[in-house]
Structure formats: structure tokens, C-alpha cells
Chains A and B, each alone.
Chain A
């Protein structure tokens, strides 16, 4: 038992050191890569199952036209096997920076649970990360204000995935519909219903009453 504890402690120490190493992000004129990881396996993986290549372009020209979005990626859905190494290259075709930021990775390996590529204007950046073994859906987005809302939202499905996220262009619907119900409408509907209920009840009562009377007479 003590032995096991020691091993566990050593393991966690080792992991902390690795996490710190990975926290350093690499930045250059093209942009930056955060939490790049090509060889450290998640705890639940014995080996790398496959190498997935994601080559994605970003910019206004990829915006989903019918969805009246402004920004977009060339692909909105990516697939990987459990324990796969995902190698992403982000090409930015705009004159402003864009990101390919993925959330939900294990925090012991990726600080803040995040893998992040950021490409400056007309530049490309590449980076890799290794996904854990569970079936999961990871959010990918650009976190420049408004960019996710205006189209830069995608998902990575590992294994069978864990469902589809909302409002991914070309994939899923918006969670909020634009036609929000005005607050006063609710009152109007309830009021009308109450009126109609009263009307219906009394009509029914009166019909029966008069009909009964007729039958009697």
C-alpha cells in the first residue's frame, strides 16, 4: 500500500513537471501555439492510436452565407480515435488574427484544459495534442470577441463523441432563436385564455340550461 502511494506521488510529481513544461507557449511572427504535446500520453492511454491531420483554413470567406455569419472555418467537424494524436495546422486567410482553441482536455496534462493555436494575418501555425481515451465532443472556437458567435465554432469528436454542440455552422441549429417572445405577449395569451374559458363555460351552461328547459316544456 505504501509502495503504491509512493509510486502515485512520484507519478503526480512527474506530471506536474510536465504540465509546467507544456504551459510555456511558443510565439513568433506567425502566431502562437499553446500546450503543444506530441509525446506525453494521457493517463488512460497506452499508446498513440493514430495520427490525425487537421488542415483548417479560417477567415471571412469561409463564413456560412445562408446562416448570415461573418467569420468561419473551412471545416466545422473533425474526428479522431481515442488516444489519437491530433496534428492541427491553422491557416488564416484574413488580415486579422484568428484562433483554433480547443477546450476540455485533461488539466493534468494541458494547463486550463486547453490546446490553442493563434494565427496572425495571412499566416499559418501548427501544433499537436493527444486526446484521452473516452468518447467525447470537444469545443473548438475562436475567442476573439464575437468570432465564435459569428461563425467560428467547430467540434472535435473523439471515438463516438458525446453528441453535437449547438450552433455549429452547417452542423447544428442555434440554441437561441432570433424571434424572442416579447414579455407582454405572455400576459396577453393568459388573459385571452381566461376570457375564452369563461366564455366557453357559460355558453355550455346556457345551452344545456335552455335545452333542458325546452325538453321539459
Chain B
């Protein structure tokens, strides 16, 4: 139908198309002025229907305190080494502890097998000063990748969870083991010796210590002994500070290097990889390094797997304290750590760590104590005390950010900073201690109910007081929270008797899933329909306009 030379059909298509577009175009995206005008004609639109968000209910996916089937928590004597009971729900393998005390060269094959350690993992040699303990120590460390990428599976390899459902990739120094890296062939879980943080290492002042880094990793690494008395170069002229820029070339994949230490001082120190430190350190290549006073018969537990309670203590610790705990605080940014899951190409991993991840824009989102975040910290890192005890806490902040360490119900005393004793008169007693990155602090926690040192028995939280420090990726409760638990408040299995919220919900991985991860899942059907209609409207407009113009022309 043509009126006055106008193709009415084409005009109609054009008008319908425009109208349709106007209707289906998301109202919120129209220019403000147009929305006012439209509202004047058709009225204000009704409020958008609220998306129904179901109230989540979380159920425990695992036991908060798994039963100790192997009896690892019990006090036990193995190979003549008496190992104190673990008060926490999960205890370290006592056979590994015995091997770390006597040396893997001085224990039976059966003990080694039960420990999972290689025969040369820790060699203890001669007693050089004749005081009843070995002074020649040779430690072999390997590097393990936890939650690593795989060319075959979407599942990470050698898995290790910080908290329920949270498993960022980690690199850790580990004692030399043998056999499978996982619990067994069917399991993807890393064997217990392969965990974060790297083990706390204990040596005696004056010991002749060799530490061999057997680089089982696919990138280059070194060890830098931070705060540990060591020479810049070894006798053979090889650098010994672990710094690729100044002292030595890094240890390549498949190669090894031995560091020599004979420390004159004592104190709580730190060791870490010094290659591309801004990424290798937060990847997990960090551990506590403790030098104990040289005393007779001072047979040390040379490694403390996963830090935490020290079950075989030094003579000095036995003399001055009732208990000792290694408390290794750290943090990580999962954007960095998960790079290694994105590709299996080591060249790409190296390039991405170097140029894709930008730590100056990065933000740490997970906060760990002894390699775990709450609620797992409650399994492994509770401080179990009796009244009138003096407990030594060796604290290391290996994280990239400072922490504001707070103890509920207690004020503890700072006896050492960075391994150096604070003069008695200058020692501060407080309930918040700020620890800068890499700083160490020895605390003396006294459980005397005097209103200052302790407010009496209970389950007293202990945590980083920064808001994010008590979260897992921003979701609380999480982070590096643990507690000081008095005997009366501890169940036989090592779980605290609390009177607040049920902990079961925290053992459901969904509790720690961010809500926006669900929102971005897919397009809604309504939006798809809308897009289709918009396409249709454009079609009508194009076709209508084309004919209209052609006919007019």
C-alpha cells in the first residue's frame, strides 16, 4: 500500500521495530531525560521483582575433630625419645618426631617408614663439644607444590586445604621423603609431611649445620637464612646469603646446593626463598628457624612439621617454660598463588609470576596460622594451658602485611624481638602486639589469674585484630584465629568446649563461598528473550528503513 509515495508497509515495520526496541530495551539504561518523558506517558514502572535469595543453611561436611585413629596425640616413647602428648585434636606423626630428634640415620627402617622420611633427610653426626648431643647436623630440604596444576585433570595435584573448600596453590620446603607424594594412589591428598608452612627448623648454637636444598621444583630457588648467623660466602668461595642479585646464582630444577651455618647467637629467626621474593615468599617458601642455647644433653627436635606445639623441647625451654609453641603467621593472595593452576607450562608460569601478577595492586585475601585458616586452626593450633603455667610462644610474621596480634583474657610479655633478648626492665606486657612483615617476637604467656596476665580459665580467642585477618577471603569467621584454652574447657579429643555458635556450619565449604560467584553463573532466560527481541527490533528497523529510503529515493 503506497500513500503519497510512502511505502506504508515499510513505515509500519519501522515504527513497530522502534516501539519494540523501546519496550525491550532495559529501562534502566535509557537516558535519564527519556525515562522522565516515558514515565509521563505510561506512568512510572512498577518496582523490579526482588530476586528470591534462599537463606542458606550450612551443614557440617566433615567432623570438626576427626578421631585420632593412629594414636598420634598420645604421649609416647619411640626409639628412646619421649614425646609429649599433643593437646590439640590433630597431632603430628610421632615417628617423624622421633626421627627428627635422633636423626634419620640413627633410627630403624620401620620408624623411617612410619615417618615417611628418606634415610638421609636429617643426618645427625658427632658430638663435637662432648656435652651429650650431636653437633653435626645435615638437613635435606626439597620443594613440594601443593594444589598444583595438572595437564590431565581439572583437580589440583597433591591437595592441601587451608580451610574447608579453600585450597590455593602453595610451594613449600619439605623434609626429604620417599615414595608417593599423596596419601595413597587413590587419594589426591598430599601426605602429611607435605604441608604449609615449611617446617620450623631447630638447631643449637655452635652446631655445624649443613642444609642442602635439593630443588625438586620446576623453577629456580635459593634459601636465605634471615636473622640466622651465617657467612656471606662459604670456605669454597660460593655465595651463601641466598640472594640471586648479590651472592649466588639460584639453584636450578634438579640441582642442589648446600648452605653452611654455625650460629653464634640464639633466637627465633626465619628462612625463605630469595628468588623473585615478592612471589616466591607468599607462594609458601617460608619457615621458622630457631637457634637454641647450647646446653648439655640438648637433643633437639630438629624439625617441627607444620609448626605449632613443640613436643620434644630444648633444655632451655624445659628449664624456663612449661610449654612451647611455634606460631607461624602468614598471608597470601589467591590471585598470585593460583597462577600455577592456570597452565602447566613452567615458562608461562615464570612469565606470569613476573609480569602478569602485580603485587603492588594485589591484596592478600587468606590469613593463616601454622599453614591453616579457621576453623582448621582449631584442630591444630589451640594453645592448651593449665593455671599458673608459663608458656613460650615463638611468633613469626612471614606475611606480606603487618599483623595486630591480640590475646583475649591475657596480657603477655615480649621477651625477645628478632631473636634478641629485651632487657628485663624494658619488657612490655600488653594484649596487642604489632608485628611487621618478617618480624619475630617471643612472648611469655603466664596463666596466673591476677587480672593482668590472665583473667582466669576459659576459651580465650587469640587473633590478628585487623578485620581482614579474621576472614577467609573476606568471610568471617576465618583467618588466623585460634584460642588459649584452659584444661577444664578442653574435651578429651582436643576440641574446645565453647558456649557460643555451633561450629558445624564452618565445616561446610559453601559457608566460605562468595555470593557474587553464584550471581555471575549464567544469563537469565528473561535477559535472553530480551536480547532476542532486541535483535528482532533491529531487524525490523533496518529492513523498514532500507525500503522506506529506497522507495522515497
Contact = CB atoms under 8 A, between A and B. Distances in A.
Given A150-B346, A217-B2, A183 B520 contact: yes
Nearest to A69: B346
A144 B2 CA distance: 82
A112 B185 contact: yes
A201 B536 contact: yes
Contact of B532 (A95, A197, A206): A197
B346 A202 contact: no
A97 B529 CA distance: 60
Chain A interface bracket (under 10, 10 to 19, 20 to 34, 35 or more): 35 or more
A52 interface: no
Interface stretch (B52-60, B141-149, B472-480): B141-149
Contact of A146 (B148, B343, B347, B538): B148
Nearest to B340: A146
A14 interface: no
A210 B547 contact: yes
Interface stretch (A81-89, A126-134, A154-162, A186-194): A186-194
Contacts of A43: none
Contacts of B253: 60, 70-71
Contact of B13 (A34, A68, A148, A210): A210
Interface in B143-160: 144-146, 148-154, 157-158
A90 interface: no
B345 interface: yes
Secondary structure of the A side of the interface?
mixed
Contact of B145 (A34, A59, A97, A146): A146
Interface on chain B toward A: helix, strand, loop, or mixed SS?
Answer: mixed
B543 A202 contact: yes
A195 B534 contact: yes
A213 B214 contact: no
A39 interface: no
Given A202-B536, A210-B543, A97 B252 contact: no
Interface of A: 25, 27, 29, 32, 34, 59-60, 68-71, 94-97, 99, 101, 103, 112-114, 116, 118, 120-121, 143-150, 166-167, 174-176, 178, 180, 183-184, 186-187, 190-191, 194-203, 205-207, 209-210, 213, 217
14 contacts: A60-B252, A94-B254, A95-B215, A97-B176, A144-B142, A145-B216, A146-B144, A176-B150, A183-B520, A184-B520, A187-B523, A198-B539, A200-B539, A213-B9
Given A145-B190, A190-B528, 16 more contacts: A27-B119, A60-B254, A95-B215, A96-B254, A97-B118, A97-B178, A99-B179, A118-B179, A120-B120, A149-B344, A180-B342, A191-B528, A202-B536, A206-B539, A210-B547, A213-B7
